[in-house]
Amino acid sequence: MKKFFRLLIILLLAANAVMLVFTYQSTDKRKKAEEAFFAQNTEYEQLNETLKSETNKLEALSRSSTEKNTPSDEKFEKNLESTGVSVCIDPGHGITSQSGKEPVSPGSGETKAAHVSGTAGEEEFNLSVALKLRSILEKSGITVDMTRTEHECDKSNIDRANQGNDSNYCIRIHADGSENSAASGISVLIPEKSYFGDDSFVRDSSILGQYILDSSVKNTGAKNKGLVTRSDLTGFNWSKVPVVLIECGFLTNPEERALLLTDEYQEKLAQGIADGFLKFVKEL
Ligand SMILES: [Zn+2]
């Protein structure tokens, strides 16, 4: 019996030892697995750090190249101011209760209506094209003055000419009208002579007029009605700076009127006028 108990105790001890070895081995395996996991985790974190720093470098590079290609608004604004050229845009006509007369030219006894209402729909059309033209020219670094930005305007033709004289050039925006509903196309009017003795006035008005006519016709596909010299326009006769008047098309021609009243066609006109003016300015 004693032998049996001794054997049992030995067997139990042996079993215990085996259990201990197994437990030790499995703990050891777990530890190793944990260590491997932590090592991998550290490696992963290091990779992640490297990735982050590379991403930051890439972002910095991308920012610096963007800054080089597109200057900040402030820098851009400064570039735009650099041409030093100014233009007065005069959207013809305006809603007014004024109805006086004024001398057609300096020193003349002949008078003409100081305010004329223009062709039906012309006042709104002129203003719309003029505002589009202003936007394009300002983006190109030209300083733009407007005789009006509202439909209501009490300024006479002499008032407009005097305001235009404060800029380097003056562009008058109009639309044509005719009893012949088939009449269509663009013409540009230029002054015949200067009342202020400046030789370059007629020459520059003529060159500017030709450029604006060519580019407007090219940009719209409208009929070219040519350059027209006028001596009877108060707005021209009181001008001291080169001045042109574009008749953008006939509001009395149903087909052309439909075109003239679209935003798309007005943009083409404004771009055409701007192209001609900017070509002129570049050649100065
Ligand atoms: Zn007009």
Ligand 1 centroid, distance to 282 Cα (angstroms):
29
pLDDT along the chain (284 residues), means of 10: 63 60 61 67 66 63 47 47 87 95 94 92 98 98 98 97 98 98 98 93 98 98 98 97 98 98 98 98 92
Question: Ligand 1 center to residue 165 CA distance, Å?
Answer: 20
Beta strands 224-230 and 186-191: pairing type?
A: parallel
10 CA → ligand 1 middle, Å: 123
What is the fold of 73-282?
Answer: Aminopeptidase (3.40.630)
* CB contact burial 46-84 (16+ within 10 A = b; e otherwise): eeeeeeeeeeeeeeeeeeeeeeeeeeeeeeeeeeeeebe
pLDDT (0 to 100) of residue 198? 87
- Looking at residue 121, its pLDDT comes to 96
b/e code 231-258 from CB counts within 10 Å (16+ = b): eebbbbbbbbbbbbbbbbbbbbbeebbe
Ligand 1 centroid–CA 190 distance in Å is 14
**What is the reported pLDDT for 23?**
56
Report how far ligand 1's centroid is from the alpha carbon of 111 (Å).
18
φ, ψ dihedrals at 142, nearest 5°: -90, 135
Ordered by start, the domain boundaries in the chain are: 1-70, 73-282
User: Ligand 1 mean position to 107 CA, how many Å?
Assistant: 25
- Report the predicted TM-score, pTM, of the whole model to 2 decimal places: 0.72
Q: What is the pLDDT of residues 219-253, one digit of tens each?
A: 999 999 999 999 999 999 999 999 999 999 999 99
Cα–ligand 1 centroid distance for 250 (angstroms): 10
User: What is the Å distance from ligand 1's center to 223 Cα?
Assistant: 18
Whole-number pLDDT of residue 29: 67
- Continuous H helices in the chain: 2-69, 73-80, 122-139, 157-164, 199-220, 234-237, 254-260, 263-282
For residue 27, what pLDDT is reported?
64
Ligand 1 centroid vs 123 CA: distance in angstroms?
A: 8
CA 57 / ligand 1 centre spacing (Å):
60
Compute, in angstroms, the gap from residue 93 CA to the centroid of ligand 1. 6
> What's the confidence (pLDDT) of residue 185?
98
Sequence-separated (6 or more) residues with CB below 8 Å from residue 206: 190, 227
CA of 129 to the centre of ligand 1 (A): 13
Give the model confidence (pLDDT) of 161-195 as tens digits: 999 999 999 999 999 999 999 999 999 999 999 99
CA 138 to centroid of ligand 1, rounded, Å: 24
DSSP 141: T
* Residue 156 burial by Cβ neighbours in a 10 Å radius (0-12, 13-18, 19+): buried
So what's the pLDDT on residue 157? 96
